[in-house]
Every structure is written in structure tokens, then in C-alpha cells.
């Protein structure tokens, strides 16, 4: 049995035990099905196939367990391979980035953690902040860094690359993310994602390419 981690959160990159993974998988399903308030440690232990005593060896309470799931989500999002090669053409890069980004945001089951974080962020601001900084802001910054490298080669005129990156990502979400995250529509098809991202790319380049004098 591993040493107790009831008072700390595992840092990113640390190898997790199979038992801890088993608990996180079970807890994720319970949070998805019942939400944060409806989930109980008893229900989580049952879903994970462990005793309640074993559950408390790994996590002090439901808050610590949910924080670990948020960390896990950030790790998974961080593994998404966006091709942001500074030498690559901006139009092709934006189209590919947008499709990969929306595909990850709107994957089946992928909206549950976002919905749950949104629901508890006011009560648990550290969890909301952690999710934003490690999932959303990092992706914005990665795209912003790429855009900065293409201002000269692609004739872009961007004063604030972080703002421009966030704008592009928001345009890629249009008509896709909110209906999905609020369960008004199923996950969008690859064809529908492509149409929205292509439109976002055209608008972005029309806005941010320097106009001829």
C-alpha cells in the first residue's frame, strides 16, 4: 500500500499507482452521473470497487478527490499534440489547431468535468482557478506564442497575441461548445467542426492580416 496522500495533491507528472487510477476512474464516473453535490464517498468507493477505508488512505475528502480529477484532466489536455511549429504557415496551422482544440473540448463525456468545475467554482475558487490556468490559459498561451512568431512571415498585424489567440479559440467554439456543454446537442461531427473552424480562420485572417497601403 502506498503512503497516505490525504493532505496533499499529487504534483503533475508523478506516476500514479494502479489503485489510485482505479479510484479516480470510479470517482469521475460518479461525478459525471451525480454532479459534485450528489456524489458521496460511499458511492465513489462502490463505483471504484474499493473499501471506504482504502478511499480515505488516498484522499482525505471529496474536495481533495475532485481536485485530483481536475489535475488529471489538465494532464490529459496537456498531452494534446498541437502542431505549432514556428516555421509553419499560419492558415494551415490555425485550421488544424482549431479542429484539434474543439475535438478535445467537445469529445463525448469531455464536457462533464467542465460543467462540474463551473458549478462549484464559486464555492471552491482554487479548483476553478487551477482548471482555468492548467487547461484553458495554457492552451491560449501556446497559440499566442506561435502567433507572435508569424507576425513577420505571414504579414500579421497583431498588437496583443494573447487576446488574438483567445478570440480565435472563442470563434472556434461558436455554435459548438455551449450547446454541447449544456447537453442541448450531442458532440459535433468532424464535418461540422471543420466548417466552424474554417469560418473562424477566415475571419481571423481578415482581421489580423495587415492591409496593403
DSSP state of 132: I
- Which one is predicted more confidently, 6 or 132? 132
Is 80-208 CATH 1.10.357.10?
Answer: yes
Residue 68, pLDDT score: 87
For residue range 154-163, list pLDDT tens digits in order. Answer: 899 999 999 9
**pLDDT higher than 70, residue 48:** yes
**pLDDT higher than 60, residue 9:** no
Architecture of domain 18-72: Orthogonal Bundle (1.10)
Tell me the mean pLDDT in the region 19-26: 90
CA 208/CA 213 separation, integer angstroms? 15
Residue whose cell numbers read 496533499:
8
CA 140/CA 144 separation, integer angstroms? 6
Helix (H) or strand (E) holding 68: helix 62-78
Residue 204 binned pLDDT confidence (cut-offs 50, 70, 90): very high
**pLDDT higher than 50, residue 13:** no
Q: So where are the chain's domains? A: 18-72, 80-208
φ/ψ of residue 188, rounded to 5: -70, 155
128-147 core/surface letters (b: 16 or more CB in 10 A; e: else): bebbeebbbeebbeebbebb
Amino acid at each position: 500500500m502506498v503512503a497516505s496522500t490525504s493532505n496533499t495533491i499529487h504534483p503533475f507528472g508523478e506516476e500514479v499507482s494502479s489503485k489510485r487510477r482505479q479510484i479516480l476512474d470510479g470517482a469521475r464516473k460518479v461525478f459525471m452521473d451525480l454532479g459534485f453535490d450528489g456524489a458521496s464517498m460511499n458511492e465513489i468507493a462502490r463505483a471504484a470497487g474499493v473499501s471506504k477505508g482504502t478511499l480515505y488512505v488516498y484522499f482525505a475528502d471529496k474536495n481533495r478527490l475532485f481536485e485530483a480529477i481536475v489535475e488529471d484532466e489538465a494532464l490529459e489536455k496537456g498531452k494534446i499534440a498541437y502542431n505549432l511549429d514556428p516555421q509553419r504557415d499560419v492558415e494551415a496551422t490555425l485550421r488544424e489547431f482549431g479542429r484539434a482544440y474543439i475535438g478535445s473540448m467537445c469529445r463525448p463525456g469531455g464536457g462533464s468535468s467542465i460543467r462540474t468545475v463551473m458549478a462549484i467554482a464559486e464555492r471552491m475558487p482554487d479548483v476553478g482557478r487551477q482548471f482555468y490556468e492548467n487547461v484553458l490559459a495554457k492552451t491560449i498561451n501556446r497559440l499566442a506564442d506561435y502567433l507572435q512568431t508569424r507576425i513577420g512571415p505571414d504579414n500579421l498585424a497583431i498588437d496583443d497575441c494573447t487576446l488574438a489567440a483567445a478570440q480565435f479559440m472563442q470563434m472556434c467554439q461558436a455554435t459548438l461548445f455551449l450547446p454541447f456543454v449544456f447537453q442541448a446537442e450531442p458532440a459535433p461531427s468532424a464535418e461540422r467542426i471543420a466548417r466552424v473552424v474554417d469560418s473562424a480562420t477566415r475571419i481571423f485572417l481578415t482581421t489580423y492580416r495587415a492591409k496593403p497601403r
